[in-house]
Structure 1
Amino acid sequence: MVAHVKICTGVLYFCEQCNFKTRHSYSFTRHKRKHTNQKPYACSDCDYKTIQLSTLKLHCAKYHSNESPRVTNINGKEKVRRRYICKEGRIKKEPQEYICEHCDYRGKNATALKNHVLTHTGERPYGCHLCNYRAAQASALANHAKRHTGVKPYACPYCSYRAAIVANLRLHIMVHR
């Protein structure tokens, strides 16, 4: 029953100091910093430090926005920062950022961000043709479809449990720890 609850809720990480829960290790690591007061992200222009990179970026935009992210003033001459120059010597276009407005997620493209946002809206546009299961992402539906085949190639090394999806086996193995 414990494994079933973990599979359904997706919760893997529990904070022992408060009631915070998450299924993402990066989110749990960031959360723990609140209790330890660890602030690994520091502003290069002042003494400001924070637990989150996105918060540092907001700080820089708010308090240091008069400084160009591309140009540095050296001895009265403006120099384009090296990371913005491509091999041919032209100024690179700044990479497009696909940032979720609900959390710290950053996608590699618009499609990845669109799929991620569905996790916040609750919309589930992909439906299984064999049962009433619906998913926010096509990959989740593809994983679900494996359950209908009856094939369970992933075996637990500690008991007779078998799974159609490797992620479910990983969740199950946590019961043994």
Structure 2
Amino acid sequence: KCYTQSVDLTRHMIIHTGERPYICNQCGKTFTAQRYLAIHKKRCKFDKDSTELHLKKKHFEERPYRCSHCEKSFKRKIKLLYHEAIHTGERPHKCSQCDKAFIRNHDLTIHMRTHTGEKPYQCSQCDKAFSLNRNLERHMKIHTGVKAYQCSQCGKCYMQNVDLTRHMSIHTGERPFLCNHCGKTFTAQRVLANHKKRCKI
């Protein structure tokens, strides 16, 4: 990429280096640009006492059920059993229509809808229906215009979490999609797909 001003090139290079030199002196969050820090500071509601309470409740609460294969622990035994199945490979709930199997019966029930075509979640605004409630919720944002996913770095809002995740790579410099022909990396799957059509290596 080319720029007419040195400051623009410097700002762009942060995408590649991952440097985040602008720090909020209230909460310690870091940012790639001064303007993102300024936006954040307007909304920063850092409260030391409430943060410590949050840490105690969310991160240090008792988790008595410990996995025998790794360091993870859980509050409920059923969660431990589901987790341990990842290590053991045990998938007791088998599909009668194909060779897929699942750890939880709930996941099998949802999977069966791919065979039956059942779509129990109907949109109240149009004639679309969905096999999963989360897909209906995502679809409903088209009608309501709600953009619930906000970037903590620059304040941009998105209707879907996947769009926010894609956007965040601008700030983090993350390029997780790798071309296995030439080794180039990309921020999005679709950009990699377009590259692969032209990659001559």
Q: TM-score, normalised by structure 2?
A: 0.35
Q: Which has the higher contact order (CA 8 A, sep 6+)?
A: 2
Q: TM-score, normalised by structure 1?
A: 0.39
Determine which structure has the larger helix proportion and give its number.
Answer: 2
